[in-house]
Amino acid sequence: MDLSLAGRRVLITGGSKGIGLACAEAFAREGCDIILAGRDPATLASAADAVRGTAQVRVETHAADLSRPEAREGLHAAFPDLDILVNNAGAIPSGRLQDIPFARWQQAWDLKVLGYIHLCQLYYPGMEAKRAGVILNIIGMAGRAPRMGYICGGTGNAALIAFTSALGGAAQEAGVRVLGINPAATRTARMETQARVNAKLKFGDEDRWAETLTGLPYGRPIEAAEIADLSVFLASPRAAYVNGTVVDVDGGGMFRG
């Protein structure tokens, strides 16, 4: 299926690994030029090489700590004109209310919650002016099904779901689309990190982290490439009427008894 994305310029935050890198490779296969943003220059360089190996497209990188407002402004100044923004950067910790110091809450939300909102503030006006563009927020199922063991992430994700729908509702008048995806447990390095915290809380032993991932729908976590393929479709003209919505990807786990 031709998704009519060739030549589009796509910025992916948190693009050096996990879902972000998988998205970069999927958009590159559709002929998009890619901008990868992340903290570590070496990791970004390696990721850029991987994307270039996927397709003959232009791949640029931008190393910055996107938890800082001035860094987000610097990213926008360096790459002011986009067709598609994929907000994906985030590392909200697992833990109960009493396990996470307030300063850590602020640090986590500065990157994911406020970071997403600020980048939308920076890029949405340009898209509005040209009456074209897509903003895709990678959020998380914890926003639909919050739990005490991931209270910081669940609360932040719920805020981003509401933000995405509100902005999408207004964006239709400008010919822009704003939408999101809520992945459940996805096979990335971050999945293991979170599982280790959960195992420590549940069993007192982080090395039993695999036991916290049993009972998943279809007996497995999501593959990052599955989220990437959905991201590419949703950002494409083939999904031109999908707007203001946040798609839940949890294998139906939310509805099990």
Tell whether 91 is covered by a domain.
Answer: yes
Rounded distance, CA 124 to CA 175, Å?
11
Spans of the chain, pLDDT less than 50: none
Place of tokens 């943003």: 37
Tell whether 242 is covered by a domain.
Answer: yes
Tell whether 253 is covered by a domain.
Answer: no
CATH number of the domain that residue 148 is part of: 3.40.50.720
Tell whether 175 is covered by a domain.
Answer: yes
Tell whether 209 is covered by a domain.
Answer: no
Tell whether 199 is covered by a domain.
Answer: no
Number of domains in the chain: 1
pLDDT value at residue 257: 64
Tell whether 176 is covered by a domain.
Answer: yes
Beta bridge partners of 249: 183
81 close to 131: Cβ distance less than 8 angstroms = no
Listing from the earlier edge strand, what are the strands of the sheet with 177-183?
59-63, 33-38, 9-13, 84-87, 134-138, 177-183, 246-249
Per the structure, the complete domain to which residue 124 belongs is given by 9-184+222-247
Tell whether 55 is covered by a domain.
Answer: yes
Beta bridge partners of 12: 36, 86
